[in-house]
Amino acid sequence: MPDAGGGGDRAPASGPTAALPHEGKAALPHEGKAAPPQEEEDASGEPTVMQMPDQPPARRAPAPFGRVVKLSVLLCTPSALAFILMVVSGQLTVVPAVGYGLMVFAGSMLLVRLFAGDIYSAVNYIRRLVAEGTAAPPPAPPMHWSDAARETTAAAAQLARHWGGRWDRAEASARATESVLDSLPQPLFMIDEERRVTWANLAARRFTGREPREANLATVIRAPDVLEAVAAVLTGGVGRQLQHTTSGPTARTFTLVVEPLAGPAMNGARVLMILHDITALVRMEEMRADFVANASHELRTPLASLVGFIETLRGPAKDDAEAHERFLAIMQAQAERMSRLIEDLLSLSRIELHEHTPPTGTADVRDIVERVAEGLEPQAAKRSMRIDIRMADDLPSVPGEPNELSQVFQNLLANALKYGHGETAVDVTAVPVPRGPASMPAASRGPCLRVSVRDRGDGIPKEHLPRLTERFYRVDTARSRQLGGTGLGLAIVKHIVARHRGALTIESTVGEGSTFTVYLPLSPPPVPVPEIPSRGDKV
Protein backbone atom coordinates (compact mmCIF):
# COMPACT_ATOMS: atom_id res chain seq x y z
CA MET A 1 0.00 0.00 0.00
CA PRO A 2 1.44 3.45 -0.79
CA ASP A 3 2.78 5.56 2.04
CA ALA A 4 0.38 8.11 3.50
CA GLY A 5 2.98 10.81 3.21
CA GLY A 6 3.30 10.42 -0.53
CA GLY A 7 6.22 8.00 -0.95
CA GLY A 8 9.32 10.08 -1.75
CA ASP A 9 8.06 13.06 0.26
CA ARG A 10 8.39 11.12 3.51
CA ALA A 11 10.94 12.44 6.05
CA PRO A 12 14.35 10.75 5.89
CA ALA A 13 15.69 8.54 8.66
CA SER A 14 17.68 11.38 10.20
CA GLY A 15 14.50 12.91 11.65
CA PRO A 16 11.30 14.53 10.53
CA THR A 17 12.66 18.06 10.97
CA ALA A 18 15.23 17.47 8.25
CA ALA A 19 12.51 17.50 5.59
CA LEU A 20 10.98 20.74 6.79
CA PRO A 21 11.72 23.98 4.95
CA HIS A 22 14.24 26.15 6.81
CA GLU A 23 12.67 29.41 5.71
CA GLY A 24 16.03 31.17 5.96
CA LYS A 25 16.74 29.97 9.52
CA ALA A 26 18.90 27.17 10.84
CA ALA A 27 16.98 24.28 12.36
CA LEU A 28 17.37 24.21 16.14
CA PRO A 29 17.65 20.88 18.00
CA HIS A 30 14.99 19.60 20.36
CA GLU A 31 16.26 20.46 23.82
CA GLY A 32 15.41 18.08 26.63
CA LYS A 33 12.92 16.09 24.49
CA ALA A 34 12.95 12.60 23.09
CA ALA A 35 13.39 12.29 19.35
CA PRO A 36 10.09 12.20 17.44
CA PRO A 37 8.89 8.78 16.24
CA GLN A 38 9.82 7.72 12.72
CA GLU A 39 7.47 6.33 10.12
CA GLU A 40 8.30 2.90 8.67
CA GLU A 41 6.64 0.35 6.43
CA ASP A 42 5.69 -3.15 7.62
CA ALA A 43 6.11 -6.36 5.59
CA SER A 44 2.89 -5.65 3.68
CA GLY A 45 4.16 -2.25 2.57
CA GLU A 46 1.66 -0.39 4.77
CA PRO A 47 2.86 2.64 6.75
CA THR A 48 3.06 2.25 10.52
CA VAL A 49 4.25 4.50 13.32
CA MET A 50 7.03 3.36 15.64
CA GLN A 51 5.74 3.15 19.19
CA MET A 52 7.34 5.44 21.76
CA PRO A 53 8.22 3.58 24.96
CA ASP A 54 6.70 6.25 27.17
CA GLN A 55 3.39 6.58 25.30
CA PRO A 56 0.57 4.01 25.35
CA PRO A 57 -1.05 3.22 21.99
CA ALA A 58 -4.34 4.90 21.23
CA ARG A 59 -7.40 2.78 22.02
CA ARG A 60 -9.70 1.57 19.28
CA ALA A 61 -13.00 3.48 19.37
CA PRO A 62 -16.27 1.50 18.89
CA ALA A 63 -18.72 2.83 16.33
CA PRO A 64 -22.04 4.16 17.74
CA PHE A 65 -24.77 1.51 17.43
CA GLY A 66 -27.37 3.89 16.05
CA ARG A 67 -25.04 5.05 13.30
CA VAL A 68 -24.19 1.41 12.43
CA VAL A 69 -27.92 0.59 12.10
CA LYS A 70 -28.56 3.58 9.86
CA LEU A 71 -25.63 2.79 7.61
CA SER A 72 -26.68 -0.90 7.48
CA VAL A 73 -30.24 0.04 6.50
CA LEU A 74 -28.90 2.31 3.79
CA LEU A 75 -26.57 -0.40 2.55
CA CYS A 76 -29.36 -3.07 2.50
CA THR A 77 -31.92 -0.91 0.67
CA PRO A 78 -31.06 -2.24 -2.86
CA SER A 79 -31.21 -5.86 -1.65
CA ALA A 80 -34.55 -5.23 0.08
CA LEU A 81 -36.00 -3.76 -3.12
CA ALA A 82 -34.79 -6.79 -5.09
CA PHE A 83 -36.44 -9.22 -2.63
CA ILE A 84 -39.71 -7.27 -2.80
CA LEU A 85 -39.74 -7.45 -6.62
CA MET A 86 -39.06 -11.19 -6.49
CA VAL A 87 -41.96 -11.68 -4.05
CA VAL A 88 -44.32 -9.59 -6.24
CA SER A 89 -43.34 -11.50 -9.39
CA GLY A 90 -43.88 -14.84 -7.63
CA GLN A 91 -40.27 -15.93 -7.87
CA LEU A 92 -39.93 -16.02 -4.07
CA THR A 93 -42.33 -16.45 -1.20
CA VAL A 94 -42.57 -14.00 1.68
CA VAL A 95 -41.00 -16.14 4.45
CA PRO A 96 -37.78 -17.01 2.59
CA ALA A 97 -37.54 -13.40 1.37
CA VAL A 98 -37.73 -12.10 4.96
CA GLY A 99 -35.16 -14.66 6.08
CA TYR A 100 -32.78 -13.78 3.28
CA GLY A 101 -33.28 -10.06 4.04
CA LEU A 102 -32.44 -10.54 7.72
CA MET A 103 -29.32 -12.49 6.80
CA VAL A 104 -28.21 -9.73 4.43
CA PHE A 105 -28.96 -7.09 7.08
CA ALA A 106 -26.96 -8.96 9.74
CA GLY A 107 -24.00 -9.37 7.41
CA SER A 108 -24.18 -5.73 6.43
CA MET A 109 -24.22 -4.66 10.11
CA LEU A 110 -21.11 -6.76 10.80
CA LEU A 111 -19.20 -5.27 7.89
CA VAL A 112 -20.39 -1.74 8.65
CA ARG A 113 -19.43 -2.15 12.30
CA LEU A 114 -15.90 -3.24 11.39
CA PHE A 115 -15.33 -0.48 8.82
CA ALA A 116 -17.06 2.20 10.91
CA GLY A 117 -14.94 1.20 13.92
CA ASP A 118 -11.79 1.93 11.94
CA ILE A 119 -13.18 5.27 10.78
CA TYR A 120 -14.25 6.38 14.27
CA SER A 121 -10.91 5.23 15.69
CA ALA A 122 -9.21 7.43 13.10
CA VAL A 123 -11.46 10.38 14.01
CA ASN A 124 -10.74 10.02 17.74
CA TYR A 125 -7.01 9.65 17.08
CA ILE A 126 -6.93 12.86 15.04
CA ARG A 127 -8.87 14.66 17.77
CA ARG A 128 -6.28 13.46 20.31
CA LEU A 129 -3.46 14.78 18.13
CA VAL A 130 -5.17 18.17 17.94
CA ALA A 131 -5.75 18.28 21.70
CA GLU A 132 -2.22 17.26 22.70
CA GLY A 133 -0.39 19.22 20.00
CA THR A 134 2.76 17.12 20.38
CA ALA A 135 5.61 16.67 17.94
CA ALA A 136 5.84 12.98 18.99
CA PRO A 137 2.33 11.59 18.33
CA PRO A 138 1.28 8.36 20.08
CA PRO A 139 0.90 5.14 18.07
CA ALA A 140 -2.35 4.87 16.12
CA PRO A 141 -4.94 2.26 17.16
CA PRO A 142 -5.01 -0.97 15.11
CA MET A 143 -7.09 -0.73 11.92
CA HIS A 144 -7.57 -3.93 9.94
CA TRP A 145 -10.56 -3.22 7.64
CA SER A 146 -10.38 0.33 6.29
CA ASP A 147 -7.36 1.26 4.19
CA ALA A 148 -8.66 4.85 4.00
CA ALA A 149 -8.82 5.17 7.81
CA ARG A 150 -5.33 3.70 8.16
CA GLU A 151 -3.88 6.08 5.57
CA THR A 152 -5.71 9.02 7.15
CA THR A 153 -4.22 8.34 10.61
CA ALA A 154 -0.73 7.92 9.14
CA ALA A 155 -1.09 11.23 7.28
CA ALA A 156 -2.41 12.94 10.43
CA ALA A 157 0.54 11.62 12.49
CA GLN A 158 2.99 12.85 9.87
CA LEU A 159 1.27 16.25 9.80
CA ALA A 160 1.43 16.42 13.61
CA ARG A 161 5.16 15.72 13.54
CA HIS A 162 5.62 18.27 10.77
CA TRP A 163 3.86 21.11 12.59
CA GLY A 164 5.16 19.99 15.96
CA GLY A 165 8.69 20.29 14.64
CA ARG A 166 7.92 23.72 13.26
CA TRP A 167 6.46 24.76 16.60
CA ASP A 168 9.53 23.49 18.45
CA ARG A 169 11.81 25.42 16.13
CA ALA A 170 9.67 28.54 16.46
CA GLU A 171 9.68 28.14 20.25
CA ALA A 172 13.47 27.67 20.29
CA SER A 173 13.84 30.72 18.03
CA ALA A 174 11.62 32.76 20.37
CA ARG A 175 13.68 31.68 23.39
CA ALA A 176 16.91 32.57 21.57
CA THR A 177 15.52 35.97 20.60
CA GLU A 178 14.37 36.60 24.17
CA SER A 179 17.81 35.61 25.45
CA VAL A 180 19.46 38.08 23.08
CA LEU A 181 17.09 40.87 24.11
CA ASP A 182 17.65 40.05 27.79
CA SER A 183 21.39 40.50 27.26
CA LEU A 184 20.93 44.08 26.02
CA PRO A 185 21.98 46.68 28.61
CA GLN A 186 19.16 49.05 27.59
CA PRO A 187 15.68 48.62 29.14
CA LEU A 188 13.22 47.58 26.41
CA PHE A 189 9.41 47.53 26.66
CA MET A 190 6.76 46.30 24.22
CA ILE A 191 3.41 48.06 24.62
CA ASP A 192 -0.02 47.29 23.16
CA GLU A 193 -2.72 49.73 22.06
CA GLU A 194 -4.19 49.82 25.58
CA ARG A 195 -0.80 50.96 26.96
CA ARG A 196 -0.22 47.61 28.66
CA VAL A 197 3.33 46.28 28.81
CA THR A 198 3.25 42.97 26.93
CA TRP A 199 6.95 42.17 27.31
CA ALA A 200 10.06 43.59 29.01
CA ASN A 201 13.67 42.46 28.92
CA LEU A 202 15.96 41.83 31.90
CA ALA A 203 17.31 45.39 31.96
CA ALA A 204 13.72 46.71 32.01
CA ARG A 205 12.86 44.44 34.94
CA ARG A 206 15.91 45.71 36.79
CA PHE A 207 14.93 49.28 35.94
CA THR A 208 11.42 48.87 37.37
CA GLY A 209 12.42 46.51 40.20
CA ARG A 210 9.56 44.13 39.37
CA GLU A 211 7.93 42.16 36.56
CA PRO A 212 6.10 44.86 34.53
CA ARG A 213 4.40 42.45 32.11
CA GLU A 214 0.61 42.96 31.86
CA ALA A 215 0.88 46.17 33.92
CA ASN A 216 -0.31 49.51 32.59
CA LEU A 217 2.55 51.73 31.50
CA ALA A 218 1.30 54.51 33.80
CA THR A 219 2.08 52.29 36.82
CA VAL A 220 5.54 51.42 35.52
CA ILE A 221 6.82 54.88 34.48
CA ARG A 222 5.07 57.75 36.22
CA ALA A 223 5.99 60.47 33.76
CA PRO A 224 3.30 62.43 31.85
CA ASP A 225 5.65 63.32 28.99
CA VAL A 226 6.51 59.64 28.43
CA LEU A 227 2.83 58.62 28.47
CA GLU A 228 1.99 61.42 26.02
CA ALA A 229 4.74 60.29 23.63
CA VAL A 230 3.51 56.67 23.72
CA ALA A 231 -0.11 57.77 23.19
CA ALA A 232 0.90 59.91 20.21
CA VAL A 233 2.75 57.01 18.56
CA LEU A 234 -0.15 54.62 19.24
CA THR A 235 -2.55 56.97 17.44
CA GLY A 236 -0.48 56.81 14.28
CA GLY A 237 2.22 59.34 14.95
CA VAL A 238 5.88 58.99 14.05
CA GLY A 239 8.54 57.86 16.51
CA ARG A 240 9.37 60.16 19.41
CA GLN A 241 12.57 60.81 21.40
CA LEU A 242 12.75 62.62 24.72
CA GLN A 243 14.83 62.85 27.89
CA HIS A 244 13.52 61.29 31.09
CA THR A 245 14.98 61.56 34.60
CA THR A 246 13.87 59.17 37.33
CA SER A 247 13.19 60.29 40.87
CA GLY A 248 14.63 58.82 44.05
CA PRO A 249 17.91 58.91 45.94
CA THR A 250 19.88 57.76 42.88
CA ALA A 251 18.30 59.69 40.03
CA ARG A 252 19.10 58.45 36.53
CA THR A 253 18.72 60.20 33.19
CA PHE A 254 17.67 58.39 30.00
CA THR A 255 17.15 59.20 26.37
CA LEU A 256 13.79 57.51 25.76
CA VAL A 257 12.94 56.36 22.22
CA VAL A 258 9.38 55.37 21.26
CA GLU A 259 8.95 53.73 17.86
CA PRO A 260 5.88 52.12 16.21
CA LEU A 261 6.14 48.51 15.07
CA ALA A 262 5.57 47.75 11.39
CA GLY A 263 2.63 45.55 12.39
CA PRO A 264 1.09 44.19 15.59
CA ALA A 265 3.21 41.50 17.23
CA MET A 266 1.81 38.11 18.27
CA ASN A 267 1.48 39.39 21.84
CA GLY A 268 -0.49 42.44 20.65
CA ALA A 269 2.37 44.93 20.98
CA ARG A 270 2.15 48.01 18.75
CA VAL A 271 4.96 50.17 20.16
CA LEU A 272 8.58 49.56 21.14
CA MET A 273 10.10 51.75 23.87
CA ILE A 274 13.88 51.77 24.56
CA LEU A 275 15.73 53.67 27.27
CA HIS A 276 19.37 54.67 26.76
CA ASP A 277 21.14 55.53 30.01
CA ILE A 278 22.96 58.88 29.69
CA THR A 279 23.36 59.41 33.43
CA ALA A 280 27.16 59.34 33.23
CA LEU A 281 27.21 61.99 30.50
CA VAL A 282 24.79 64.27 32.34
CA ARG A 283 26.67 63.92 35.61
CA MET A 284 29.98 64.64 33.97
CA GLU A 285 28.57 67.94 32.74
CA GLU A 286 27.14 68.68 36.18
CA MET A 287 30.42 67.77 37.85
CA ARG A 288 32.37 70.11 35.64
CA ALA A 289 30.10 72.97 36.60
CA ASP A 290 30.04 72.00 40.29
CA PHE A 291 33.79 71.56 40.44
CA VAL A 292 34.42 74.99 38.97
CA ALA A 293 31.86 76.62 41.30
CA ASN A 294 33.01 74.78 44.44
CA ALA A 295 36.70 75.10 43.73
CA SER A 296 36.42 78.82 43.00
CA HIS A 297 34.44 79.34 46.22
CA GLU A 298 36.41 77.19 48.64
CA LEU A 299 39.90 77.83 47.23
CA ARG A 300 39.47 81.60 47.21
CA THR A 301 40.28 82.00 50.94
CA PRO A 302 43.47 79.88 51.15
CA LEU A 303 44.71 81.31 47.85
CA ALA A 304 44.15 84.85 49.11
CA SER A 305 46.06 83.94 52.29
CA LEU A 306 48.97 82.54 50.30
CA VAL A 307 49.13 85.60 48.04
CA GLY A 308 49.02 87.91 51.09
CA PHE A 309 51.79 86.08 52.94
CA ILE A 310 53.98 85.95 49.83
CA GLU A 311 53.60 89.71 49.35
CA THR A 312 54.43 90.25 53.04
CA LEU A 313 57.51 88.04 52.87
CA ARG A 314 58.71 89.85 49.78
CA GLY A 315 57.98 93.25 51.30
CA PRO A 316 57.93 94.39 54.96
CA ALA A 317 58.99 91.01 56.41
CA LYS A 318 61.73 90.40 53.86
CA ASP A 319 64.50 90.34 56.45
CA ASP A 320 62.45 89.12 59.44
CA ALA A 321 63.54 85.53 60.13
CA GLU A 322 60.93 85.01 62.86
CA ALA A 323 58.13 86.17 60.54
CA HIS A 324 59.48 83.86 57.83
CA GLU A 325 59.05 80.78 60.06
CA ARG A 326 55.59 81.80 61.25
CA PHE A 327 54.28 82.72 57.82
CA LEU A 328 55.75 79.64 56.12
CA ALA A 329 53.99 77.39 58.67
CA ILE A 330 50.69 79.13 57.94
CA MET A 331 51.29 78.88 54.19
CA GLN A 332 52.01 75.15 54.51
CA ALA A 333 48.76 74.63 56.46
CA GLN A 334 46.79 76.52 53.79
CA ALA A 335 48.44 74.54 50.98
CA GLU A 336 47.63 71.26 52.76
CA ARG A 337 44.04 72.42 53.18
CA MET A 338 43.79 73.12 49.43
CA SER A 339 45.28 69.70 48.69
CA ARG A 340 42.73 67.96 50.94
CA LEU A 341 39.93 70.01 49.41
CA ILE A 342 40.88 69.11 45.84
CA GLU A 343 41.32 65.45 46.79
CA ASP A 344 37.86 65.34 48.41
CA LEU A 345 36.27 67.11 45.45
CA LEU A 346 37.76 64.62 43.02
CA SER A 347 36.73 61.70 45.24
CA LEU A 348 33.18 63.02 45.48
CA SER A 349 33.03 63.48 41.70
CA ARG A 350 34.14 59.90 41.07
CA ILE A 351 31.56 58.55 43.52
CA GLU A 352 28.71 60.60 42.01
CA LEU A 353 29.68 59.43 38.52
CA HIS A 354 29.03 55.77 39.44
CA GLU A 355 26.34 56.31 42.07
CA HIS A 356 23.58 54.88 39.84
CA THR A 357 25.52 51.61 39.37
CA PRO A 358 25.16 49.18 42.31
CA PRO A 359 28.40 47.59 43.59
CA THR A 360 29.20 44.05 42.51
CA GLY A 361 31.73 42.96 45.15
CA THR A 362 31.43 41.71 48.74
CA ALA A 363 32.72 43.50 51.83
CA ASP A 364 33.55 42.35 55.38
CA VAL A 365 32.45 45.31 57.50
CA ARG A 366 34.15 44.09 60.69
CA ASP A 367 37.51 43.78 58.95
CA ILE A 368 37.10 47.21 57.31
CA VAL A 369 36.24 48.97 60.58
CA GLU A 370 39.11 47.31 62.45
CA ARG A 371 41.63 48.37 59.78
CA VAL A 372 40.30 51.96 59.76
CA ALA A 373 40.40 52.14 63.58
CA GLU A 374 43.98 50.85 63.60
CA GLY A 375 45.01 53.60 61.19
CA LEU A 376 43.36 56.28 63.39
CA GLU A 377 45.00 55.17 66.64
CA PRO A 378 47.69 57.92 66.50
CA GLN A 379 44.98 60.58 66.08
CA ALA A 380 43.03 59.12 69.00
CA ALA A 381 46.14 58.92 71.18
CA LYS A 382 46.81 62.66 70.73
CA ARG A 383 43.50 63.39 72.51
CA SER A 384 43.65 60.45 74.93
CA MET A 385 40.65 58.87 73.19
CA ARG A 386 39.94 55.28 72.27
CA ILE A 387 37.80 53.45 69.71
CA ASP A 388 35.64 50.65 71.15
CA ILE A 389 34.44 48.15 68.52
CA ARG A 390 31.62 45.82 69.50
CA MET A 391 30.78 43.44 66.66
CA ALA A 392 30.03 39.72 66.50
CA ASP A 393 32.70 37.43 65.04
CA ASP A 394 30.16 35.90 62.64
CA LEU A 395 28.92 39.24 61.30
CA PRO A 396 27.58 38.65 57.75
CA SER A 397 29.25 40.24 54.75
CA VAL A 398 27.41 42.80 52.62
CA PRO A 399 27.35 43.49 48.87
CA GLY A 400 29.71 46.42 48.44
CA GLU A 401 33.04 47.88 47.44
CA PRO A 402 35.55 47.54 50.34
CA ASN A 403 37.51 50.66 49.34
CA GLU A 404 34.40 52.86 49.30
CA LEU A 405 33.11 51.48 52.61
CA SER A 406 36.56 52.12 54.11
CA GLN A 407 36.13 55.73 53.05
CA VAL A 408 32.72 55.86 54.78
CA PHE A 409 34.00 54.62 58.14
CA GLN A 410 37.22 56.62 57.81
CA ASN A 411 35.19 59.84 57.57
CA LEU A 412 32.76 58.90 60.35
CA LEU A 413 35.48 57.80 62.81
CA ALA A 414 37.72 60.77 61.96
CA ASN A 415 34.81 63.15 62.63
CA ALA A 416 34.05 61.40 65.92
CA LEU A 417 37.67 61.82 67.03
CA LYS A 418 37.71 65.48 65.95
CA TYR A 419 34.46 66.58 67.58
CA GLY A 420 34.28 64.20 70.55
CA HIS A 421 35.54 65.33 73.96
CA GLY A 422 39.08 64.34 74.91
CA GLU A 423 39.59 61.28 77.11
CA THR A 424 36.30 59.73 75.92
CA ALA A 425 35.50 56.68 73.82
CA VAL A 426 34.06 56.39 70.33
CA ASP A 427 31.68 53.41 70.17
CA VAL A 428 31.30 51.39 66.98
CA THR A 429 28.58 48.71 66.89
CA ALA A 430 27.17 46.55 64.11
CA VAL A 431 24.15 44.23 64.25
CA PRO A 432 21.87 42.69 61.59
CA VAL A 433 18.31 44.05 61.57
CA PRO A 434 15.25 42.60 59.79
CA ARG A 435 14.35 45.82 57.94
CA GLY A 436 15.95 49.10 57.00
CA PRO A 437 14.54 52.61 57.60
CA ALA A 438 12.01 54.29 55.36
CA SER A 439 14.76 56.39 53.75
CA MET A 440 16.17 53.29 52.03
CA PRO A 441 15.10 52.38 48.48
CA ALA A 442 12.03 50.14 48.57
CA ALA A 443 13.74 47.36 46.58
CA SER A 444 16.52 46.96 49.19
CA ARG A 445 14.51 47.70 52.34
CA GLY A 446 14.89 44.18 53.67
CA PRO A 447 17.38 42.58 56.06
CA CYS A 448 20.22 45.04 56.69
CA LEU A 449 23.44 45.46 58.62
CA ARG A 450 23.21 48.46 60.96
CA VAL A 451 26.59 50.07 61.78
CA SER A 452 26.58 52.93 64.32
CA VAL A 453 29.39 55.35 65.25
CA ARG A 454 28.76 57.26 68.50
CA ASP A 455 30.87 60.08 69.92
CA ARG A 456 30.65 61.95 73.22
CA GLY A 457 31.00 65.54 72.12
CA ASP A 458 29.00 68.77 72.24
CA GLY A 459 26.25 67.41 70.01
CA ILE A 460 24.55 69.13 67.08
CA PRO A 461 21.40 71.27 67.29
CA LYS A 462 18.41 69.66 65.57
CA GLU A 463 18.00 72.46 63.04
CA HIS A 464 21.38 71.59 61.52
CA LEU A 465 20.82 67.82 61.14
CA PRO A 466 18.93 67.84 57.78
CA ARG A 467 21.73 69.81 56.09
CA LEU A 468 24.78 68.03 57.47
CA THR A 469 25.32 65.99 54.30
CA GLU A 470 25.29 69.02 52.00
CA ARG A 471 28.57 70.04 50.40
CA PHE A 472 30.61 72.50 52.46
CA TYR A 473 27.93 72.78 55.13
CA ARG A 474 29.48 73.34 58.57
CA VAL A 475 27.81 73.84 61.93
CA ASP A 476 30.87 75.75 63.19
CA THR A 477 32.85 76.97 60.20
CA ALA A 478 35.83 78.30 62.13
CA ARG A 479 36.22 75.20 64.26
CA SER A 480 35.84 72.91 61.24
CA ARG A 481 38.59 74.68 59.35
CA GLN A 482 40.78 74.79 62.44
CA LEU A 483 40.45 70.99 62.73
CA GLY A 484 41.30 70.51 59.06
CA GLY A 485 37.82 69.74 57.74
CA THR A 486 36.85 70.39 54.13
CA GLY A 487 33.07 70.22 54.57
CA LEU A 488 32.83 67.30 52.13
CA GLY A 489 33.24 64.26 54.39
CA LEU A 490 29.56 63.60 55.11
CA ALA A 491 28.61 64.39 51.50
CA ILE A 492 31.01 61.63 50.42
CA VAL A 493 29.49 59.28 53.02
CA LYS A 494 25.96 60.02 51.80
CA HIS A 495 26.75 59.30 48.13
CA ILE A 496 28.68 56.09 48.86
CA VAL A 497 25.84 54.79 51.02
CA ALA A 498 23.34 55.74 48.29
CA ARG A 499 25.37 53.78 45.73
CA HIS A 500 25.20 50.75 48.05
CA ARG A 501 21.38 51.20 48.15
CA GLY A 502 21.57 51.87 51.90
CA ALA A 503 20.70 54.76 54.21
CA LEU A 504 22.43 57.17 56.60
CA THR A 505 20.65 58.43 59.72
CA ILE A 506 21.93 61.01 62.22
CA GLU A 507 20.84 61.42 65.83
CA SER A 508 22.30 64.00 68.17
CA THR A 509 21.67 65.46 71.61
CA VAL A 510 23.30 68.75 72.53
CA GLY A 511 25.74 68.21 75.41
CA GLU A 512 25.80 64.41 75.04
CA GLY A 513 27.09 63.62 71.53
CA SER A 514 26.02 62.30 68.13
CA THR A 515 25.33 58.91 66.56
CA PHE A 516 25.81 58.33 62.83
CA THR A 517 24.19 55.08 61.62
CA VAL A 518 24.76 53.41 58.26
CA TYR A 519 22.29 50.76 56.97
CA LEU A 520 23.65 48.38 54.34
CA PRO A 521 21.43 45.72 52.67
CA LEU A 522 22.59 42.15 53.29
CA SER A 523 21.66 41.03 49.78
CA PRO A 524 21.21 42.81 46.44
CA PRO A 525 17.61 43.45 45.36
CA PRO A 526 16.16 40.50 43.41
CA VAL A 527 15.65 40.73 39.66
CA PRO A 528 12.21 39.44 38.60
CA VAL A 529 12.36 36.72 35.98
CA PRO A 530 9.18 36.03 34.01
CA GLU A 531 7.93 32.54 33.32
CA ILE A 532 8.54 31.33 29.77
CA PRO A 533 5.14 30.64 28.19
CA SER A 534 4.40 27.02 27.38
CA ARG A 535 2.85 25.71 24.16
CA GLY A 536 -0.63 27.00 23.72
CA ASP A 537 -0.03 30.22 25.71
CA LYS A 538 -0.02 33.55 23.94
CA VAL A 539 3.52 34.62 23.14
Give 163-204 pLDDT, tens digit per residue. 777 777 777 887 887 788 888 888 999 999 888 999 889 888
Give the whole-number percent of the chain exceeding pLDDT 70. Answer: 80
Whether residue 533 is predicted with pLDDT greater than 90 in this model: the reply is no
Residues 334-354 have a mean pLDDT of 76
**Residue 89: per-residue pLDDT:** 80
Q: Is beta strand 448-454 parallel, antiparallel or unpaired with respect to 425-433?
A: antiparallel
Distances (CA, A) of 366 to 142, 270, 342, 370, 531: 75, 53, 30, 6, 40
Give the orientation angle of helix 402-419 with respect to helix 489-499, to 10 degrees. Answer: 150
Distances (CA, A) of 422 to 416, 417, 466: 11, 8, 27
**Residue 464: per-residue pLDDT:** 87
| Residue range 492-502, pLDDT digits in tens | 899 899 888 89
Burial (CB < 10 A; 0-12, 13-18, 19+), residue 50, is: exposed
| Residue range 370-427, pLDDT digits in tens | 999 999 998 899 999 999 999 988 899 999 999 889 989 998 999 999 889 989 999 9
Residues 318-325 have a mean pLDDT of 81
User: Higher pLDDT residue, 11 or 307?
Assistant: 307
Cα 471 off chain centre by:
35
Q: Cα–Cα distance between 51 and 136 in angstroms, integer?
A: 10
- Identity (one letter) of the amino acid at 258? V
User: Higher pLDDT residue, 474 or 432?
Assistant: 432
Range of 108-117, 215-224, 258-267, 402-411 with top mean pLDDT: 402-411
Q: Cα–Cα distance between 34 and 32 in angstroms, integer?
A: 7
**Residue 74: per-residue pLDDT:** 78
| Residue range 38-94, pLDDT digits in tens | 444 443 344 444 344 455 555 656 667 777 777 777 777 887 788 788 878 877 787
Whether residue 19 is predicted with pLDDT greater than 50 in this model: the reply is no
How many Cα atoms are found within 13 Å in the side-chain-facing hemisphere of 366? 11
Q: Cα–Cα distance between 306 and 331 in angstroms, integer?
A: 6
Whether residue 22 is predicted with pLDDT greater than 70 in this model: the reply is no
pLDDT interval class at 249 (50, 70, 90): low
Q: Cα–Cα distance between 394 and 366 in angstroms, integer?
A: 9
Residues 443-468 have a mean pLDDT of 89
Cα angle 107-108-109, degrees, rounded to a multiple of 5: 90
End-to-end CA distance of the chain: 42
**Residue 480: per-residue pLDDT:** 55
Range of 29-43, 45-59, 279-293, 453-467 with top mean pLDDT: 453-467
Which numeric CATH code is attached to 358-521? 3.30.565.10
**Which bin fits 459, alpha (ψ -120 to 50), beta or left (φ > 0)?**
left
pTM value is: 0.48
Q: What's the whole-number average pLDDT of the chain?
A: 77
Which numeric CATH code is attached to 184-281? 3.30.450.20
Give the whole-number percent of the chain exceeding pLDDT 90. Answer: 16
**Residue 120: per-residue pLDDT:** 72
**Residue 387: per-residue pLDDT:** 93
* Residues 6 or more apart in contact with residue 13 via CB below 8 angstroms: 38
Which sequence spans correspond to the domains of the chain?
A: 65-172, 184-281, 358-521
